[in-house]
Amino acid sequence: MKQEAEAGEFLWEHLPLGEPVPCDRYKHACCLYGRFIYVHGGRETGSLGDFWRYNLECNEWEQLKCTEEKLEGHSMVAYQGVLCVFGGVIDSAFTQGKCPLWMYEIDAAKWILCPRRELELKCASPDNRKGHSAVVYGSSMYIYGGYLDLKGPSSEFLAFNFDTRRWSLVSPSCSDHGPGCRHLHSAVVYGAAMYLFGGLNVKDEQNDLWKWNFSSNTWSKIKAS
């Protein structure tokens, strides 16, 4: 009986929803802030540019003002009342040269397109990409990898400081000292480290687990026991 009760605590529950609700989609971005889950863009039969939030307390969806861009394979993180959306732009002659970074101020319900700035290491600010990972640690957003059109998977590890609103290169793009080139992977922060798992390296699936230590600025590969 005890085992059944414990198992019952971890069952999925389908939530009945009224109108309006977001359409079916994949390759969207999603994050949690306060009592709301925010969902942006993705793909159904084509690319989407809509923006929604789900109220966890009231069990209701609400459509919000969205950006002008239709995005897929992008990321979204939250930091002190601001949502940060990066990447996912559908590449075209019109979008080339644009910085694929937007800020949404939750209280003001306002989008801001961040200007393209130089990295500290004299490199151009990050190119548009899809299928990267994004996490928040301290006052920065950390971006790893992703797929760059015409270039393929990337091993770039970048940080965006929310206070200065500037980019910096966290570690060199070298596959000998880290996860290497990949996209469609996942990453989370726990304690003073970021854990990165899986993804695709060109066409090969990966099942390795890596740890980035924010204190020592080093990668280590984790071997499961």
Whether residues 95 and 80 share a domain: the answer is yes
Whether residues 168 and 219 share a domain: the answer is yes
H helices present in the chain, as ranges: 2-8
In this prediction, residue 185 carries a pLDDT of 97
Q: Which two tokens stand for residue 144?
A: 């790893």
Residue at 12 is within a domain:
no
In this prediction, residue 106 carries a pLDDT of 96
In this prediction, residue 19 carries a pLDDT of 86
In this prediction, residue 67 carries a pLDDT of 80
Q: Nearest to residue 126, comparing CAs of 105, 146, 104? A: 146
Residue 224: give its domain's CATH number.
2.120.10.80
Helix%, strand%, coil% for the chain, nearest 5: 5, 50, 50
Of 89, 116, 143, which one is at a domain's C-terminal end?
116
Distance (Å, whole) CA 59 – CA 53: 10
Check: CB of residue 196 under 8 Å from CB of residue 144. Answer: yes
Query: Which pTM value belongs to this model?
Result: 0.89
Which domain does 33 fall in, by range?
A: 18-116
In this prediction, residue 194 carries a pLDDT of 98
In this prediction, residue 166 carries a pLDDT of 87
In this prediction, residue 40 carries a pLDDT of 97
H helices present in 12-162, as ranges: none
Whether residues 133 and 213 share a domain: the answer is yes
In this prediction, residue 99 carries a pLDDT of 73
Q: Which two tokens stand for residue 35?
A: 């009592």
Whether residues 59 and 136 share a domain: the answer is no
In this prediction, residue 95 carries a pLDDT of 56
Distance (Å, whole) CA 206 – CA 144: 15
In this prediction, residue 1 carries a pLDDT of 44
Omega before residue 153 within 30° of 0, cis: no
Q: Rounded to 5 degrees, what are φ and ψ at 37?
A: -105, 125
Whether residues 126 and 106 share a domain: the answer is no
In this prediction, residue 15 carries a pLDDT of 84
Query: Could you give the number of structural domains in the chain?
Result: 2
Residue at 1 is within a domain:
no
pLDDT tens digits, 90-116: 765 555 666 789 999 999 999 988 876
Whether residues 129 and 143 share a domain: the answer is yes
Intervals of the chain under pLDDT 50:
1-2, 5, 121-122
